[in-house]
Amino acid sequence: MLRKGYKALLAEANAVATAIPVADAIGMQEDPNVVFVDIRDPRELDREGMIPNAFSAPRGMLEFWVDPESPYYKPVFSAEKKLVLYCASAWRSALAVKTLKDMGLDNVAHLDGGFTAWKAAGATVARKEPSK
């Protein structure tokens, strides 16, 4: 028997996660102090595209990529930049923001409505860059 379902987890996450409206996020796109972090599965990126210049960090690896003590650490997370996470509909990103806040990051928020809302607003979509 589950002690806590996804709705309760989302409610807890949304209570601490700052959600940035799409209109505000579009205005942040050129800000050098903001990094958009796409936490969707790579297949979603291939199929749907992504926010231009976003950093792809699949949800399953995020905690490992953020922690400097991890062998999988990615330096993009060491900067004092604001991280704006997003997924398809803002569920995974809300949970991820809560986790990163629990890890000690304060400079993290997520895109309200996710990539679905981004596209619906007519914002620019880029094709995923091929992996190196």
Q: Does 30 map to a domain?
A: yes
What pTM value is reported for the model?
0.93
Backbone angles phi, psi at 99, to 5 degrees: -60, -45
Question: Is 80 within the bounds of a domain?
Answer: yes
2: helix, strand or coil: coil
Q: Is residue 132 part of a domain?
A: no
Q: Does the residue 131 lie in any domain?
A: no
CB 94 within 8 A of CB 14: yes
Give the domain extent around 48.
13-120
**pLDDT at residue 78, as a whole number:** 85
Q: Is the pLDDT of residue 8 over 80?
A: yes
Residue 71 inside a domain? The answer is yes
Residue where the block lists tokens 């999988």 = 72
Backbone angles phi, psi at 2, to 5 degrees: -70, 140
- Write the DSSP assignment of 34-66 as a string of letters: EEEEE-S-HHHHHHH-B-TTPEE--GGGHHHHH
pLDDT for the residue 12: 96
Does some domain include residue 41?
yes
Tokens linked to 98: 């809560």
Could you read off the pLDDT of 72-131 as tens digits, one per residue? 999 999 878 999 999 999 999 999 999 999 999 999 999 999 999 999 999 999 997 665
CATH code, domain carrying 110: 3.40.250.10
pLDDT confidence of residue 128 = 79
Please tell me the total count of domains within the chain: 1
What is the structure's pLDDT at 80?
A: 87
Q: Please check whether residue 49 lies inside any domain of the structure.
A: yes
Q: Is residue 126 a part of any domain in this protein?
A: no
